[in-house]
Structure 1
């Protein structure tokens, strides 16, 4: 879809915001007229009453032959620098749009790269991005992604420790990924992640299978997840992420919102989550 059409559709369906992936057909971050196009999108979002989080998962925006390449872990320093420049530019786009956060991920560890080297590359590469995010007052929301160096909540906390827990560093929590590979339930993951939660992606998924599924096609019990989100006081966006279903976008966008509204009506009462992210005794599970 054209971006204007997609935004109009979401607003008409009753969505309150959008996770906007910068890509060649949707606010191309490498286009020479980026600033003017960003102003147009900002006006469009404002007219439609939509808030936004900027996402950076475009598959071939930098390299037409390598999905998500080059990454922040690329062996070539100049290639890593290209990804860093893209993310720094995306920080400015996020600021100009008034976005809740800027999303990113680590990338897959290149073959033959020692784990310690990969973490060092990641921390070095993220430092200028975090500096830009701090200056622009835009939280950076790093996503644990199955198969990547940073794949789990534990990996996110490892990154926090390596970087010295900088103020702009936050978390993108994908509810399906929690079902796929985290030891805790998705609802418990939400509670554990609460202090760092800056962006949420949601879809259905099965244990051990990284496949984004329409709601009801996987194994997740959603009312407890929505209850946990409510308990955290999270105020950002919770965006439906079905990257392989664009052929059925309008139908699934409508169906997904109806599903989430129905699940929200049936969620258990929320017990407030303390500031350290642990659930109160007797809270929902």
Structure 2
């Protein structure tokens, strides 16, 4: 089998950097947005939560409009994230999910997230499957997931919003192969893309991280970025884990991805401004180094990674 010639150098400095507001949990949303704009970020991954644009609190229309104006003033793009831990149930993290016996509140949350995304002009609305409850069989959980996703796709289609479904370690859909199965089960909807967490790729995918990007390039609508170690689902600051980032950023550029690449450090709110400052400095340096990459790994059928 012939091996394709090396690809030409790509310019990873064209990537648009964002930061997740779940890493600014101790800040007012307006203050977090201002800090990120001052640091030079291009956008934010806005996690809807009780302290950051609560979708269930009174005056939602007014509050969404105010956030939209602030984003415009600061020149920040936005994606909507839905991974708030205790927004729906004060006793159980992330519950209910689409896999629970009664997913009504989760579905309503996701519908609201889509409508908020439409009002804010969000580039994507991101969500995930959830962990299968022990009392729910794998097949029942899968059927519930497909049905729940289908209802969210209908709302997204009506609102003109792009969905990014995130494979998450330990959840029913935890890797790219699972996402492909779900996409097919839904009938390959055009607005149902993938949210790719770069750290998750290192944690559990079978390919090198740049190859993961190439594998989903045609469906990539949202990117979260963090460092991670193999087999350990822990979001780490850049340089602490095992990922070589210049080839990853070069792969994103080569894939033609032009959405936000948003830092995902949800456990670093205690030092958010400093962590955000270090993160953008690191990613800018890695992107500059990525310009010199003379080959971006791509999947070659039949050739082991």
* TM over 0.5, shorter chain: yes
Instruction: Write out aligned runs for 1:87-98 (5 A).
Output: 87-98=110-121
Distance 1:227 1:272 in 2: 7
Q: Is the CA contact 1:227–1:270 (under 8 Å) kept in the aligned structure 2?
A: no
CA displacement at 1:280 relative to structure 2: 7.8
Q: Is the CA contact 1:172–1:197 (under 8 Å) kept in the aligned structure 2?
A: yes
Q: Is the CA contact 1:91–1:132 (under 8 Å) kept in the aligned structure 2?
A: yes
Aligned twin of 1:149: 172
Deviation larger for 161-170 or 48-57: 161-170
The SS at the match of 2:223 is: strand
**2:202 corresponds to 1:179:** yes
Aligned twin of 2:162: 139
Q: Is the CA contact 2:210–2:296 (under 8 Å) kept in the aligned structure 1?
A: no
Q: Is the CA contact 1:231–1:271 (under 8 Å) kept in the aligned structure 2?
A: no
Aligned twin of 1:257: 280
CA displacement at 1:112 relative to structure 2: 3.3
The SS at the match of 1:266 is: helix
Aligned twin of 2:214: 191
What TM-score results when the alignment is normalised by the length of structure 2?
0.87
**2:95 corresponds to 1:69:** yes
1:110 corresponds to which of 133, 137, 143: 133
**Any stretches of 5+ residues in structure 1 without a counterpart?**
none
Structure with greater contact order relative to length (CA < 8 Å, sep ≥ 6): 2
Distance 1:161 1:26 in 2: 34
Distance 2:231 2:299 in 1: 25
The SS at the match of 1:54 is: strand
1:159 corresponds to which of 182, 189, 209: 182
CA displacement at 1:113 relative to structure 2: 2.2
2:269 corresponds to which of 239, 246, 258: 246
Instruction: Write out aligned runs for 1:1-285 (5 A).
Output: 1-74=27-100, 76=101, 79-267=102-290, 268-269=292-293, 279=299
- Aligned pairs, number: 275
CA displacement at 1:118 relative to structure 2: 1.0
Aligned twin of 2:19: none
The Cα offsets for residues 28-70 of structure 1, whole Å up to 9 and x where unpaired, read as 0001211100000000000000000000000000000000000
Distance 2:294 2:222 in 1: 20
The SS at the match of 2:103 is: helix
List 4+ stretches of structure 1 deviating above 4 A.
Answer: 270-273, 278-281
Distance 2:209 2:250 in 1: 11
What TM-score results when the alignment is normalised by the length of structure 1?
0.94
Q: Is the CA contact 2:126–2:195 (under 8 Å) kept in the aligned structure 1?
A: yes
Q: Is the CA contact 1:60–1:66 (under 8 Å) kept in the aligned structure 2?
A: yes
CA displacement at 1:114 relative to structure 2: 2.0
Q: Is the CA contact 1:177–1:205 (under 8 Å) kept in the aligned structure 2?
A: yes
Quickly say closer, same or farther: Cα 1:72–1:98, change in 2 above 3 A.
same
- Give the RMSD, CA atoms, in angstroms: 1.6
